[in-house]
Structure 1
Amino acid sequence: MSTLPERFARRLDNVAIVIADEPSPEQLARSRVATGETLYGLYEGIPVTARSSSYGMVVPDRITIFQRSIEADCRSEAQIVDEIAKTILHEVAHHFGIDDPRLVELGLA
C-alpha cells in the first residue's frame, strides 16, 4: 500500500484489505475464474464510479489477497512481494471502476 500514489491512497478510507488462505467457492463463482486459472485477489464492493449521491453508511469495500494462491505460483520471496503489490494495484483499480479489459491494456491483469 505504501507504493500507491497519495491521491489514490487517501480515497481508500472505507476499503478493508484482508488476507485469506484461499478463495471460497462463492468468491470463485462471483469472480468467474475459468477452470485452471488461479485467483490472487478479489475486490468486493461498489466501485467509486458506480456510487450515487446517496452512498453512505455502508460496510467497507473489501480487497482480499489469497495467500496460498500467490505462494503456490511464486518461486521466491521477492516474487511473492512483487505479486502481492501487483495484485493490490489490480484490485484497487477495480475500486476506482477500471475493468479487466482495461487492466489488460495497462499491463495489470
Structure 2
Amino acid sequence: MLELDTEAFEALVVDELDRLPDEMVDGLDNLIFVVEDRPENGTLDTLGLYDGVALTERDRYGFGEMPDRIIVYREPHLAACETLDELADEIHTTLVHEIAHFYGIDDERLHELGWA
C-alpha cells in the first residue's frame, strides 16, 4: 500500500483537477471537491462519490442550494496503487468519473467509455 499524508494527497487531487480540460470543468456550478479518508461504511472499494443532483435531473435550482460535492477517498486510492504515477492516474479517472455523474452520465455509459 502506498503511503501519502492527507496534505500531499490533497495537493495531488488539486494537480489532477488542474489537468482536466476546460470544457469539463467550466460547467461545474455550485460544486465542491472534498477529500476524506474513507467512505462512512469503511470500505476500501469506493474511490469517489458524487453527492448531489445531476444537472440532467435538476428541475428548479436557485439561490440558497447547498453545493453538490465530489468526494475523493484517500485510503482506498492508496490501497489500490503502488506508485505515485499510478495514484495520479487513478485520481484523474475518479475525478472524471464523478464529474460525469454531475453532468448526468450514468455508470453504464461510463463503462462503455472506459471511465468506470
What is the identity percentage for the equivalent residue pairs of Structure 1 and Structure 2? Answer: 40
Measured after TM superposition, the shift of residue 13 of structure 1 is: 3.0
Aligned residue-pair number: 99
Decide which of 80, 84, 94 is 1:87's aligned counterpart. 94
Which residue in the other structure is 1:3 paired with? Answer: 19
Decide which of 15, 40, 43 is 2:47's aligned counterpart. 40
Say which is worse superposed, 76-85 or 8-17, in terms of deviation. 8-17
Decide which of 1, 8, 12 is 2:28's aligned counterpart. 12
Q: Which has the higher helix share?
A: 2
SS at match of 2:69: strand
Letter aligned with residue 35 of structure 2: I
Query: Any gaps of 5 or more consecutive residues in structure 1?
Result: 29-36
Q: Distance in 1 between matches of 2:40 and 2:52?
A: 17
Letter aligned with residue 14 of structure 1: N
Which residue in the other structure is 1:50 paired with? Answer: 57
SS at match of 1:64: strand
Measured after TM superposition, the shift of residue 5 of structure 1 is: 2.2
Structure-1-length-normalised TM-score? 0.84
Letter aligned with residue 79 of structure 2: A
Letter aligned with residue 50 of structure 2: Y
1:105 equivalenced with 2:94 (yes/no): no
Letter aligned with residue 59 of structure 1: M
